[in-house]
Amino acid sequence: MLELRLMTADAFDRFLAHTVPQYAAEKIASSEWTPEEAQARSEREFD
């Protein structure tokens, strides 16, 4: 069974701290983004 719960601000901050760089790394690995642009682009995507 799936249960949806509200995410606290702290939990969301931890999620972003982990997910944004991971997403950037995936985009670099797939040659979609350059290493120089990846972090900023990832941050914008999640904003």
In this prediction, residue 5 carries a pLDDT of: 93
CB 41 within 8 A of CB 24: yes
Mean pLDDT of 16-42: 98
Gap between the Cα atoms of 27 and 32, Å rounded:
5
In this prediction, residue 33 carries a pLDDT of: 98
In this prediction, residue 6 carries a pLDDT of: 96
Average pLDDT of the chain is 97
State the DSSP code for 33.
S
In this prediction, residue 28 carries a pLDDT of: 98
Q: What is the pTM of this model?
A: 0.82
Residue 32 phi/psi, 5-degree rounding, is -80, -35
The CA-atom distances, in angstroms, between 27 and each of 3, 16, 35, 46 are 30, 16, 9, 14
